[in-house]
Structures are given as C-alpha cells and as structure tokens.
Amino acid sequence: MKTVVWSLFFFCMFRAGLSQDVFSPEQRMNWLAKAEASKPMLIETVKTPQRMVSLKQNAQAWQGWEAVEAGDMETFYQTSLKKQPEIVVDFGEHLTGYFSCTLDLIGISESDAPTRLKFTFGEVPSELATPFDPYPGSLSRAWLQDEIVTIDYVPETVHIPRRVSFRYLKIEILGNSNNFDYKISKMAVTATTSANVVPKALSAGTSSMIIDIDRVGLATLRECMQTVYEDGPKRDQRLWIGDLYLEALANTYSFENHDLTKRCLYLLAGLAAPNGFLHATVFEKPSPRPQTGQHILDYSLLYNVALLDYLKVTDDRETALDLWPVAVQQIEVARTYLDKDLLYNQRPIWIFFDWRDDYDKLASLQGLFVKVLKDTYELAKMIGKEKEVAGLPELARQMSSVARKNYYDSKRGIVVSGEQKQISYLSQVWMALGGVLNKKEAQKALKTVMSMQDAVYPGSPYGNHFVVEALIECGMEQEAKDYLIEYWGGMVDRGADTFWEIYDPGNDTLSPNKFFPVNSYCHAWSCTPVYFIRKYPDIFQK
C-alpha cells in the first residue's frame, strides 16, 4: 500500500494549481489499490546458453548478419578466456531476466589485478555486430544493453543488476593481468514472466507456417507479460494503452491471465490527468506514475474498447462499473477536439495509429471515434448505464454521415484523407471497423487499396493488426490469412524468435528512432497473430 499512497500523494501535488480533478481522491485510491492487488507474481526460470556462435556478414540475412555455430559450451567453460578473442554465446531463445556468470582461476596463480569485461546483450545478431558509438539515435543511448564490469578478484560470481532482454551475448576483455589465467565456468539467466499457463495446441491440420507464427507470437507475448503488459522488455519497459489493448486480445486466447489486464486498466485509470484524460503511457517503478503530458488520442479511445472486451471475456461487472467514469471521460475529452461539423480537421494532440510519417490520419481518427462511440454504448448497456450516454448512437450516426460526405469517394469506392486526398490502407481499415462503410463497400475499398502500388501501407505490426481485423470483419477471410502469413511469416522466414517493433519487408534497417539497434525486437504490439489464429480456427487452422 505504500506504493499506492505515494502515487496518490504525487497526484495531490500534481493537481494543485492545475485544475479541479474530475475524479475524487477516493476513486483514485480505490483504483490504484485494486491495481496493486491484481499485480501478478513473476515466474522465474533459470536458463543457460546453448552454444557458441560467430557473427558472419550475409547479405541475404536479416539486417545483413547471421549467427553461425562455432562451438559447444562445455569446451568454452574449460578454455581460458584470454584464448578466445571473440566470444558470442547463444541462449537459443529470447529471454528477459537477470544475468550472472562465475569466473574461476586456471592453474595455481593468484589474481593480482582487476579484470574488466564488457557484456553486450542482443536480441538479434546485428545488435552485436553494429558499433553503438558514435551513437546517432534519437532515444537514450542507455537503452542499448552493453555493460562494463570490473572484477576485483577471481574467483567471483558476477551479477548484472540491470534486467536484460536478449538471445545473444558478446563478451569482450577490456583489461586483465598477464600474471594469472582465468575462465568463465558458468553462465545463467533467471528469466521472468507472469505468463503461467501452457496454451492449447493448435489443431492437427494447421500449416507449419501458422504453427511457427503462433509459436513466435506466444514467445513475444510471454516476454512482454511482466507485472504489467510491457510494450518491449528491452525498450521501453512500460505500459502503453495501445499495447495493452493488443496484448489483452492475444492473452484472452492463450495465457488467460485476466488479472494482468485488470491491473493495467486500473493503473491507467488511477494515473489519469486531472481532466480524466488517460496518459498514453505509465511507469511502475520506482512508484506508479504517468509520463506526464504524454497523451495519444487514439490510444485513449481504445481504452474503452479494451474495457468492453475485458467485460465480455470475464463478466467482471464490478471492474466495468468501477471504470465506467473513465470510459465516459475519454469520450468527453475527445469530443472537445471536434469542429462544428463534427470533424477532426486538425491534429489536436499526438495521433498515432502507426509508425508512418507520410500517413494522413484524419479519416482514420473519424472512423475510430465512430467505432468507440458504438462500443462505449454497448458497454453502457451491459452495465445498465445507457441512460447516461443516450446520445451516443445519434452522435455516431451523425459522425458516420459526415465521414462519408468528407472522406468517401463513392465513385471510386475508396476512402481518401486530408487536403491531398491521400489513399492509405488504414483509412479504409478504420472506416470499415467503425461501420462507416457497409460490408460490400469495405470489401471494395480494401481490395482496391491492396491493389494500388502507390497507396500508403502500414509501417509496423501495430498498423497491420488492424488490416487483418478489418479483412476478417468484412468477410475477406482468405485475404486475411494470406496477409497474416505474408507479413508475420516474413519475420519468421528472417529468423525472428519474437516479433519486432518495426518490420518493413523492403527496409531491414528502418527505425523511427534513427538507429536500428535501438529498435525493440520483442514488442508487444506484434504478438496478435496469436489472437487471430486462436480466435478464428476455421480461417487460420485449416
């Protein structure tokens, strides 16, 4: 409860001088207490490296580098570290946890000076093969997982205090004495996750590629399920609403840890801004707090969809009733950005939808808001609150009409967005998911955009999730399966152990952060093939 009290103190200070809080201190206390009560125990598993590898350049490999087997661990443990100029070990799978190793003397000599080693942890081979410095990235250099350790005496067991997320480990000698010899005699990682269920096997007739995609998706989700749904266990190690929504979908059909979803919903609510608007991202440590001022309009709206999905899966009316005021407030805040014609004609705040700089998002935002209005009203009916939001169906109807008038080119059967009348995949997708287009119109729009060479396509697995969802909703089941196999199967073919934050089949080194090694190669928003494959077995398991 100390954590909860600290958070409430933070918010009392935060609210002072800003504006009156739409939520009472008692509500926030209750939400944060329930978030803490739902915090899962982490399961710890000790993992050891499987083999030695060498890093080889290969133009056909992902990002130009591959790991090639170079020896067994038993031989490594018996060999002087000084006689192994390049040391790279492979743990055989992606792991998130805490690393330790033991150094022992060789022979009868005694250590007479400190030994300095550098450990570099990489999720993919290119991380270990690409120099980090001079660092060109736009995010903190400290996200890169290289640690320098000075060992005063040997023998010694070294513990890296920082949690790491990796498959491959490179060890470099930065300094040692010539008067004694030593070896590493043991290495291990205490891996952590809150996923504690073995998901059901897929049906016997499932194709090998779908099985592989599901396996990698499960590994991605498992690694990101810590004490919140983390967006990436390497980076950024925090809860984002968009990742929560997608991880919760996949979790429902795999690990079924609904308390983790509940915790995240309550944590976001308790840390909302004074006007009730949800922060797009919140931190757990050292104490729960928001990333103040970080708001993403489409993420905040998706909170309502996630709450509705949670209620449908768990029938937990108490939680839905508790958090109903938060859902209402997301609608109220979002409405303030509409113009007199019920359009989002300007970018009010950060609007995300996808990592794609040249993508006009206004039509997508219109379609999303229509969907959220409908889903929020459905949530209200399920908990007996429909009288409080009786105007939502009419607002959804009006906004659909306005959207069709301003964004739908009925002659061409396609959605356009912005002053340039841009045609993008996601404009079609969100008009379809919002029901602005009927099923026949949505099918035509999606088929048309997917046939266009110059259409703006999604730049990340996050955006591509909604493409698959829209294809399924409008009855294009074979197209949905083909799309999923082509996109996520492309990562599998390139050696993915877990699915990546960014994947563009035409650009291996694409990075929104200006340096591809700082990309997250185990990222929550990429795990949703698990959801599709398991929710729709007639589409994906046959």
The pTM score is 0.95
How far is 317 from 323, CA to CA, in rounded Å?
10
How far is 429 from 473, CA to CA, in rounded Å?
10
How far is 161 from 112, CA to CA, in rounded Å?
26
- Other CB atoms within 10 Å distance of the CB of residue 321: 13
How far is 25 from 9, CA to CA, in rounded Å?
10
78-86 own/partner pairs: CB under 8 Å, 24+ apart: 78/183, 79/183, 80/106, 80/181, 80/182, 80/183, 81/171, 81/173, 81/182, 81/183, 81/184, 82/173, 82/176, 82/181, 82/182, 86/54, 86/55, 86/170
How far is 375 from 393, CA to CA, in rounded Å?
10
Q: Burial, 398: exposed, middle or buried (Cβ in 10 Å; 0-12, 13-18, 19+)? A: middle
Which candidate, 524, 493, 523, 529, places its Cα nearest to that of 508?
Answer: 493
Which candidate, 198, 225, 200, places its Cα nearest to that of 211?
Answer: 200
Which candidate, 522, 515, 534, places its Cα nearest to that of 496?
Answer: 522
Which candidate, 227, 231, 259, 234, places its Cα nearest to that of 244?
Answer: 231
Residue in the structure block whose two tokens are 């209402």: 328
Distances (CA, A) of 499 to 212, 233, 257, 276, 455: 11, 12, 21, 33, 25
How far is 33 from 6, CA to CA, in rounded Å?
12
- pLDDT-flagged residues of the chain (< 70): 1-19, 347-348
CA angle, 407 then 413 then 418, to 5°: 25
The end-to-end CA distance of the chain, in Å, is: 49
Q: Would you call 80 helix, strand, or coil by DSSP?
A: coil
Q: Would you call 443 helix, strand, or coil by DSSP?
A: helix
How far is 519 from 134, CA to CA, in rounded Å?
17
* Alpha helices in 100-240, H assignment, sequence order: 125-129, 208-224
Instruction: Give the domain 44-193 fold.
Output: Jelly Rolls (2.60.120)
Tokens at residue 23, please?
A: 């939520």
Looking at residue 435, its amino acid is G
CA 52 to chain centre: 30
Residue 171, CB-side half-sphere exposure with 13 Å CA sphere: 23
Tokens at residue 41, please?
A: 């125990």
Residue 347: per-residue pLDDT: 66
Burial 101-116 (b: 16+ CB within 10 A, else e): bbbebbeeeebeeebe
* Alpha helices in 451-476, H assignment, sequence order: 461-473
Sheet holding 281-283, edge to edge: 239-240, 281-283, 289-290
How far is 103 from 109, CA to CA, in rounded Å?
14
Contact partners, residue 226, CB within 8 Å, separation at least 6: 42, 96, 192, 193, 194, 233
Q: Would you call 385 helix, strand, or coil by DSSP?
A: coil
How far is 370 from 358, CA to CA, in rounded Å?
24
Residue 384, CB-side half-sphere exposure with 13 Å CA sphere: 4
* Alpha helices in 317-391, H assignment, sequence order: 317-335, 362-382
For the chain, what are the domain ranges? 44-193, 323-351+357-456
Instruction: Give the domain 323-351+357-456 fold.
Output: Glycosyltransferase (1.50.10)
Residue 109: per-residue pLDDT: 85
Residue 19: per-residue pLDDT: 61
How far is 459 from 329, CA to CA, in rounded Å?
31
